[in-house]
Every structure is written in structure tokens, then in C-alpha cells.
Structure 1
Amino acid sequence: MKTKDLMATFSLIAYDPEAEEWGIGVASKYLAVGAMVPWAKAGVGAIATQAWGNPGYGPAGLKLLGEGQKPEAVIKTLTTADPGRQLRQLAVIDAQGKSAVFTGKKCSSWAGSIQGENFSVQGNLLQGEQVTKAIANCFQAAQGRLAERLLKALQAGENAGGDKRGRQAAALLVVKAAAGANGLDDRYLDLRVDDHTRPLTELERLLKLFYQLKAAEKNSPAP
């Protein structure tokens, strides 16, 4: 397998108990990373599947969380059945903010993770451990809404070295019960930058537009 084929990525999954939101922030030198890595369901948890990612981990993992399995058990169930597990990196956080991570032995260096209260940071093919440390430290210190904290943390990771190969795509996903379009689903925020020379800068611009839209909606009648 060629290094260029791997989804070199750093991500952060988190739970905000005050807002009752679950979210994921991800950045990568990989086209449209937001279509692959982040999965979440309000009241259930969030999942990041990356490195030589298995997209089936997302829906299957959320189903297992919904059935009451703990993050460690979800990871064991999914990876045990996967012959390619040593190429995977999988992070899971549950409805209470408990998290676990699996980093396969064949994930490209540097690869690893940091877990804290209500969050987990993970990455592969990074410049070094300082990237995940910077993300974790920034997230813990940051103030504001969950999406804003996720973005600030990703920016800190990029400033600490980020992906060895450079940058291309980024995404934010935040779920909250009945907070989606017209209150009909839980997808409160789903922003993606698929291909850009400065994806996190572009993601920041989109996030500002999102909050402007939300503010305008509060002051406008429904169509």
C-alpha cells in the first residue's frame, strides 16, 4: 500500500454536556475527508474512522452504541470482524462522553491519540505527537460553542505541524436532538471543505456564515 493512499488525518470527537451536543472536527490531506471520517447521532455518540478508513465502522458503530455497548466494546466488535484492522484508526465517544480509540499497528507514523474528559484526539501520518497534544490542550482551554472549540483545536493542530503531507480538506459535524433543518433531524451543523489550499481558513469562513444564518432565521418567519 502506498503512503499516498492513506487518509492521513487528525480529528477530534467531543461531547458538550451543557449543550447536549456531540461533534467531530477533522482535517486531512485527503479529498472530501468530511464524507468519510465523521459520524454522529444525538443521544448516542460520535465516531471517527480514518487512516485506511473503513466506512462501515460509522453506521455499524452508532448502532452498537445505540444498543448500549461501551466504546471499548464497540471497537472490539468492529475490529475483530475486520481483517484489515491493523490499517485502521477508529475513535468512539458515547452519549456520556466516555471515549476509546484503536490505532492499528500498520497506521503510518506518527499515529496515536489522547483522551480527556468528554473528548478524544487522534491522528495518523502526522508530524509528531505534538499535533495531538496541541489539539487537546487547545480544546480544553477554548471557550464558546462546541463547533467553535472544535475548529480552534484543529487550527492549533495545524499550527503544531499537522499532516505530514500538507492540507486539503476539513469538516465539522455537530448533532443535537431536533436541532437540524426545521427540527426534523439532529444534524445541527454539517460543514465541509472538500478541496482547498487553506481548508481550515475556509471552514472558519463557512462557520461564521452558518451562525449568521442561524441568527437571521431567529428573526424571520418560516417560509
Structure 2
Amino acid sequence: MTFSICVHETYTDEDGEERDRFGVAVTTRLPGVGTLCPFASESGAVATQSLVNVELGRKGIEYVDGGLAVEDALQSLLNADEGAENRQLHGVDADGTFVFSGEECKDWYGHVEGEHYTVAGNLLTGEAVIDAVADEYESSREADRPLAERLVDALAAGHEQGGDKREELHVQSAALLVESTEERVVDPYYEDLRVDATETPIADLRETYEYAVEGYEMAMELYEDGLDSVDGDED
């Protein structure tokens, strides 16, 4: 029913500290994908799809937050899931990746496991969809642009290759979620976005992202003095 990408990156914040960030983005030809499939925390990112079992995402992130490696966390959940062969489940943590596509997923289905990222999809027009998502993400990794923006670009690349093949379903959705270990007074509004029901999910997600960036920057400028006070830096 969908295709998605999970990523882990390291970066240096403004204070010179090395940080981790985790992102997940997803789109499908059904409404409300952001309520079902993407999960992320300061410890990892997980996507659950195909015949969706939301608990695989919720508990997967819980287990990773609790210290389990992502491969151990997700495999243990699949081992206990009687419907595992109908599932796609993938994710990343700071040290590794995991990706699973059950044999009863609907064609075309498959996945890609790269360095610090995973991509998976089912009911797609073909393998070119997930290859395009992976290629776009890899080409953007060294770019000095926010991860959320680059995740939208990765979804767009897959969408351009055909995406979800069920053209009879015109109501679609898309979502992205980014979490970081960096401590910030106000988390960026543009790192947790959903478009729940539309005929143009990627274009709408991109527009929502652009407005969210604009709104965040305006708010930070307008309320900068107040934020400095909250942070304890007021003169």
C-alpha cells in the first residue's frame, strides 16, 4: 500500500557537538498514512506497512529506546506476529539497519538496505520506485539542506517512477517525521508533518514543509527575546 524510507545521520550542531538524527517518510494511495506507518525517536526510526500492524512500529521504537538493537527489536516483534508474512517492517538506529518484506506482500514489493538507511514498498509499479527513492536520498546526503526537505525529495523521486500502482484510488496521503538528539528550545515545526487526504500528496507535503519552515523562521525571529529568556540567556 505504500513506500517509505528510514534514515540515520550524524551531524555537528552549532556548538560543535556531534549529534544523531533519524528520519522517516512515507506515502500511499490511502488517507491518513501518517497515523499508521511512520515512527521515530531520538534512538531510531521505523516504518510498518503492507497489511499494517501499528504495534510493530510503536513497540519497535519502544524497544529501541529501551536499548535493543533495531534488528533485534524488530525481528523479535515479527517472530511473535502470526501475520508476519503479510508485513513490511524496516528501520534504523545509530548502529544498524533492519528490513523485512513478507512473502505474502502484494506485487510489486521489495526493499533496499543501504548504509544507514532502508527503503521498502509494496503494491508498486515496479522496482524502479524504491531504487529512485534510494538513489535520490544517497545523492543528497552530503547536501547542506534539512533532512526533512531531502526526505520529501526522496518520496518525489519514487512518485515520479510510478509509486503506488492503484490508480483507481485517488485519495492519497504522505508524512514525514525527523527526531534529533540535539537539545533545542523549540523543535522545528517542519520536522513532523502530515498530509492526510489529497490527490497530490507529494506536492502538498512539499508545500506544507515550505510553509512550516517559513512559519518557524518568522516565529523564531518574532519571539527571539522571549526564547532567550526561557533559555536563561537574557542580559
- Does the pair score TM above 0.5? yes
Farther-moved stretch of structure 1 (15-24 vs 168-177)? 15-24
Which structure 1 residue ranges, 5 or more long, are not aligned? Answer: 1-7
Q: Distance in 1 between matches of 2:99 and 2:107?
A: 16
Structure 2 residue ranges without an equivalent (≥5): 12-18, 228-235
Alpha-carbon distance change, 149 to 193 in structure 1, aligned in 2, over 3 angstroms: same
Deviations, residues 96-134 of structure 1 (Å, cap 9, x unaligned): 3x2111111110011111111221111011111110100
The aligned runs of 1:121-140 (5 Å cut-off) are 121-140=119-138
Compared with structure 1, are the counterparts of its residues 186 and 201 closer, same or farther at alpha carbon in structure 2 (3 Å cutoff)? closer
Partner AA of 2:209 in structure 1? L
Larger Rg: 2
Match of 1:77 in 2: 76
Contact 1:112 1:122 in 2 (8 A): yes
**1:33-64 deviation digits (Å, cap 9, x = unpaired):** 0110000111x101000000111112211122
Residue 31, structure 1, aligned to residue 31, structure 2 = yes
* Superposition deviation, residue 179 in structure 1: 5.9
SS in 2 for 1:92: strand
What are the residue-to-residue correspondences of 1:1-223 with 2, within 5 Å? 8-18=1-11, 20-42=20-42, 44-96=43-95, 98-142=96-140, 143=143, 144-166=145-167, 168-177=172-181, 183=186, 189-221=191-223, 222=226
- Check whether the contact 1:172–1:191 (CA below 8 A) recurs between aligned residues: yes
Q: Distance in 1 between matches of 2:127 and 2:178?
A: 26
Question: Is residue 15–residue 22 contact of structure 1 (8 Å, CA) maintained in 2?
Answer: yes
Q: TM-score, normalised by structure 2?
A: 0.84
- Provide Cα deviations, 1:187-213, integer angstroms capped at 9, x if missing partner: 872111111111100000000011111
Deviation at 1:176, TM superposition (A): 1.9
